[in-house]
Copies of this chain bind each other. A is one copy, B any other.
Amino acid sequence: MTQTSSSTAPARGPVDHDVRDQIVAAATEHFSRYGYSKTTVSDLAKAIGFSKAYIYKFFESKQAIGEMICANCLAEIEADVCQAVSEATLPPDKLRRIFKVITEASLRLFFQDRKLFEIAASAATEDWQAVVEYDARMRQLLLDVLQEGRQSGDFERKTPLDETVTSIHLVMRPFRNPLLLQHSMEGSEEAPALLASLVLRSLSP
């Protein structure tokens, strides 16, 4: 039912790629000011100064543009998290940073900087491809840190690894998913650190 990024018209060359980027940048700006659901492709075309037909040459629907914006937004969060993890040496420290930075970056991207909440909420409600892939990559990052910690002897090895990953991924969900995060703002200062400590206690060998 839902469109995936892969179903958008593929870029046909460096120039086409530039135009696509230009449309996405303008649309990001426009949506974050005027909202996603209320804006039509016609409104967007008018605001960017392109014809509607020209935009449709690059994106088959408004959702295809929304998906690209969403994917970019999630990529920014992911980059922040990966950067924070790479700056730590010990697996417990890496885990703490995942909790902290995923919350901070999500709050910033979804609610403050760009006000992209509306797109992020649609994406999360309808399980857009970009969200599914992002969740899978966040899960993989967690798995890597857990495996590293099991090898270094920092984390216990009795619980099946798959169960450990799934349950920690669940604990993080209210701070990763924008639909839950909107109702978790109040505790978003202390909660991630408290939860990271609880998770680390659950991992002690």
Interface residues of A in 174-205 (CB under 8 A from B): 174, 177, 179-180, 183-184, 187, 191, 194-195, 197-199, 201-203
Cβ of A168 under 8 Å from chain B: yes
CB distance from A199 to the nearest CB of B (A): 7
How many subunits of this chain does the assembly comprise? 2
Answer whether A174 and B163 are a contact pair too, CB < 8 Å, given A198-B202, A199-B198: no
Give CA–CA (A163, B198) in the complex, Å: 9
CB distance from A106 to the nearest CB of B (A): 15
Answer whether A173 and B170 are a contact pair too, CB < 8 Å, given A201-B202, A202-B198: no
CB distance from A143 to the nearest CB of B (A): 15
Count, chain A residues at interface, CB 8 A? 27
Give CA–CA (A163, B195) in the complex, Å: 10
B interface footprint on A148-188 (CB within 8 Å = 1, 0 otherwise): 00000000100100011011101101100101100110010
The answer on a CB contact under 8 Å between B167 and A195 is: yes
